[in-house]
Amino acid sequence: MDYRTIVGQGPALSQVNADALLVVVTPELSATGAPELDALLKDAIAKADFALKAGRTLYVHRPQGVKAPRVVLSAAANGSPKGFRAAVAKGLAQLKDLGAAHVAVLTADGFALAVEHAQALVLAAADGTYVFRETKPSAPKPGALDKVTLVSTAEQNAAVKAGLAQGQAVAEGVTLARELGNLPGNYCTPTHLANQAKQLAKTYKHIKAEVLDRPALEKLKMGSFLSVTNGSAQPPKFIILRYEGASSKQAPVVLVGKGITFDTGGISLKPGAGMDEMKFDMGGAASVLGTFQAVAELKPKINLIGLIPTCENMPSGTATKPGDVVTSMSGQTIEVLNTDAEGRLILCDALTYAERFKPAAVIDIATLTGACVIALGHQHSGLFSADDALAQALLDAGTQTQDTAWRMPLDEEYGESLKSNFADLGNVGGREGGAITAAVFLSKFTKAYRWAHLDIAGSAWKSGGAKGGTGRPVSLLTQFVLNQAAAGADAIAPSKPATPRKAPGGKV
Ligand code: BES
Ligand code: MN
Ligand code: ZN
């Protein structure tokens, strides 16, 4: 897809050269300044064929005095990037099965287009034209659309241009994550994920990839991670990605992604209905790979490490049994009370491994708990962190890219239920607050650095008719990394203590 911007305003808007015009209006801003388009808008509203209400669209064929042969009117709730994205998505859906190859998107006069709007447009277009073909070659080809032009004012033009470029890089990362999520378990094995990482390293000179096999993991004493792979015929892999965009002295941000390529539950076997969806259980890993791709395209001045523990969770005669006690790399022993709580078992060793990078911050991303889907649905990712500044930075990055997260509690008290008579920790608490106890379990392995956890069990994929991966939270993570790079060392600096600390001499 080709994305461009041109400058245009007022009467010139009805003469824009494209196969279709997509006109985005809001309840406050409903005139474009082009008489032909404004007459059309006014008439359509007067005749109740169109309303200035979010979600409403109207297709018009060969309207009078407009150069483009097709016009779609689309109403946004307001001028926010979120509203704009939804209106663009709706408008493009109207054009989907039509012959338009080049769509020009224009906004009502006074609409304040910024970087975020341009990025939102690219993500909406990429989302609307994505088709999974890898194991279904007969899937309908994406429509005719191959070029989108966003019309801006001279003042907005530079920001729009930057937003389109950033959006394109992010959209490619989102698509990679989505594609990997959709790929079935017999294609997307731990070895396949490792090959994807190596491919990224081959394509981008700023990325390096290293893959550790079982003997290296045994040497590292990753007993918790290895206990999950016991029942599987597929070899486990531990992927280490490095993006070097700043001086080697600068502490890196570390992203850790859960890479269970299929989660049967193990001996604590899941029910059969809907179990196919557990091929998405490597969504965290996919989001790390997608973010590395986007970051390598955008080249921010930052150091980034990606860690992906990846294996299958299978039942067999060699599988870990409920009650088995394993020793994690941290030295803490864990009683595996439920083999279906395997995500935390592979993540805890990766989180311990992360210490060696002396990270500025560590963020793990995991389809960790069904409880998180019950709590938040598919709208927001669950965000857990004891670090207010880091949490806020992640929430902000999510809002900026409409890839939102919602902060959840992380009180120590929730950890009571993780006590075990036979090990330092049990791997499950009760059913209640399940997403939180999972996060508290992980927190026991993150004492050496600033840490946040994203539970993406709901946000990384959709169920029902539109079943499939979403590529989330690549947008959030990439924006977070870009914001960190732009702000330098201050980006997520801890907030200043409320009371001044005593100086060594006793003076305040
Ligand atoms: N991969 C699942 C979590 C999941 C469930 C993701 C539904 C997406 C949709 C995870 O490994 C799991 O099985 N968690 C258990 C934990 C329980 C045994 C404490 C769960 O959520 O039921
Ligand atoms: Mn599980
Ligand atoms: Zn799982």
For residue 263, the CA-to-ligand 2 centroid distance in Å is: 6
Pocket test for ligand 1, best of 277, 310, 312, 340 (most atoms within 8 A of CB): 340
pLDDT at 113: 98
Q: What is the pLDDT of residues 264-284, one digit of tens each?
A: 999 999 999 999 999 999 999
Task: Examine residue 84 and state whether it is found in any structural domain, yes or no.
Answer: yes
Q: What is the pLDDT of residues 127-136, one digit of tens each?
A: 999 999 999 9
For residue 344, indicate whether it is catalytic: yes
What atom of ligand 1 comes closest to residue 343's alpha carbon?
11
Q: What DSSP state is assigned to residue 405?
A: E
Task: Examine residue 500 and state whether it is found in any structural domain, yes or no.
Answer: no
Instruction: Tell me: do 112 and 200 sit in the same domain.
Output: no
What is the mean pLDDT of the segment spanning 414-419? 96
For residue 396, the CA-to-ligand 1 centroid distance in Å is: 27
The Cα 11–Cα 49 span in angstroms is 24
CA atoms within 13 A on the CB side of 441: 33
Q: Whose atoms come closest to the Cα of 310: which ligand? A: 3
Beta strands 303-313 and 237-244: pairing type? antiparallel
pLDDT at 492 over 80: no
Instruction: Tell me: do 110 and 239 sit in the same domain.
Output: no
DSSP lists the bridge partners of residue 453 as 364, 384
**Helix, strand, coil in percent for the chain, rounding step 5:** 40, 20, 40
Instruction: Tell me: do 145 and 180 sit in the same domain.
Output: no
pLDDT at 341 over 90: yes
For residue 484, the CA-to-ligand 1 centroid distance in Å is: 31
Instruction: Tell me: do 134 and 269 sit in the same domain.
Output: no
Task: Examine residue 495 and state whether it is found in any structural domain, yes or no.
Answer: no
DSSP lists the bridge partners of residue 60 as 71
Q: Whose atoms come closest to the Cα of 260: which ligand? A: 3
Task: Examine residue 321 and state whether it is found in any structural domain, yes or no.
Answer: yes
What atom of ligand 1 comes closest to residue 280's alpha carbon?
8
Instruction: Tell me: do 401 and 462 sit in the same domain.
Output: yes
Beta strands 237-244 and 259-263: pairing type? unpaired
pLDDT at 92: 97
Question: Any idea what the CATH number is for the domain that residue 450 is in?
Answer: 3.40.630.10
> Which residues in 326-340 are b (16+ Cβ under 10 Å) and which e?
bbbbbebbbbbbebb
Sequence-ordered strand ranges (E) for 86-185: 102-107, 147-152
What is the mean pLDDT of the segment spanning 90-110? 96
111 exposure class (CB count in 10 Å sphere: 0-12, 13-18, 19+): buried
What is the mean pLDDT of the segment spanning 386-407? 98
Report in angstroms the alpha-carbon separations of 342 from 167, 229, 365, 384, 439.
Answer: 34, 10, 14, 19, 13
- Provide the domain limits for residue 394: 173-487
Q: What is the pLDDT of residues 137-163, one digit of tens each?
A: 999 888 899 999 999 999 999 999 999
For residue 367, the CA-to-ligand 1 centroid distance in Å is: 8
pLDDT at 142: 82
Of 104, 122, 153, the residue at which a domain comes to its end is 153
Task: Examine residue 109 and state whether it is found in any structural domain, yes or no.
Answer: yes
Q: Whose atoms come closest to the Cα of 264: which ligand? A: 2
Instruction: Tell me: do 77 and 42 sit in the same domain.
Output: yes
Higher pLDDT, 143 or 261: 261
Instruction: Tell me: do 130 and 266 sit in the same domain.
Output: no
Confidence tier at 494 by pLDDT (50, 70, 90): low
For atom 22 of ligand 1, which residue has the closest CA?
Answer: 370
Instruction: Tell me: do 124 and 181 sit in the same domain.
Output: no
Across all residues in the chain, what is the average pLDDT? 96
For atom 13 of ligand 1, which residue has the closest CA?
Answer: 340
22 exposure class (CB count in 10 Å sphere: 0-12, 13-18, 19+): buried
For residue 300, the CA-to-ligand 1 centroid distance in Å is: 35
Of 120, 153, 186, the residue at which a domain comes to its end is 153
For residue 86, the CA-to-ligand 3 centroid distance in Å is: 31
What atom of ligand 1 comes closest to residue 367's alpha carbon?
6
What is the mean pLDDT of the segment spanning 94-103? 95
pLDDT at 498: 45
pLDDT at 373: 98
Omega into 236 within 30° of 0, i.e. cis? no
Report in angstroms the alpha-carbon separations of 330 from 253, 357, 362, 370.
Answer: 21, 15, 16, 27
pLDDT at 495 over 70: no
Confidence tier at 357 by pLDDT (50, 70, 90): very high
Q: What percentage of the chain carries pLDDT values higher than 90?
A: 94
What atom of ligand 1 comes closest to residue 270's alpha carbon?
13
CB 484 within 8 A of CB 400: no
Instruction: Tell me: do 307 and 411 sit in the same domain.
Output: yes
Catalytic one of 344, 444, 450, 472: 344
Q: What is the pLDDT of residues 215-247, one digit of tens each?
A: 999 999 999 999 999 999 999 999 999 999 999
pLDDT at 508: 37
Question: Any idea what the CATH number is for the domain that residue 47 is in?
Answer: 3.40.220.10
Instruction: Tell me: do 178 and 149 sit in the same domain.
Output: no
pLDDT at 120: 98
Task: Examine residue 231 and state whether it is found in any structural domain, yes or no.
Answer: yes
Instruction: Tell me: do 260 and 381 sit in the same domain.
Output: yes
The structural domain count of the chain equals 2
Q: Which residues' Cβ are closer than 6 Å to ligand 1? A: 263, 281, 338, 340-343, 367-371, 373, 428, 434, 457
pLDDT at 143: 86
Task: Examine residue 140 and state whether it is found in any structural domain, yes or no.
Answer: yes
CA 78 to chain centre: 24
Pocket test for ligand 1, best of 369, 453, 462 (most atoms within 8 A of CB): 369
What atom of ligand 1 comes closest to residue 368's alpha carbon?
3
Task: Examine residue 504 and state whether it is found in any structural domain, yes or no.
Answer: no
pLDDT at 208: 98
Catalytic one of 208, 221, 270, 462: 270
Q: At what angle do helices 157-182 and 283-298 cross, to 10 degrees?
A: 150
Q: What is the pLDDT of residues 281-332, one digit of tens each?
A: 999 999 999 999 999 999 999 999 999 999 999 999 999 999 999 999 999 9
Q: What is the pLDDT of residues 31-55, one digit of tens each?
A: 999 999 999 999 999 999 999 999 9
What is the mean pLDDT of the segment spanning 473-478? 98
Instruction: Tell me: do 400 and 438 sit in the same domain.
Output: yes
pLDDT at 488: 83
Q: What is the pLDDT of residues 425-452, one digit of tens each?
A: 999 999 999 999 999 999 999 999 999 9
Sequence-ordered strand ranges (E) for 163-232: 207-212
The Cα 342–Cα 169 span in angstroms is 33
pLDDT at 141: 85
Task: Provide the 3-class DSSP secondary structure of residue 402.
Answer: coil
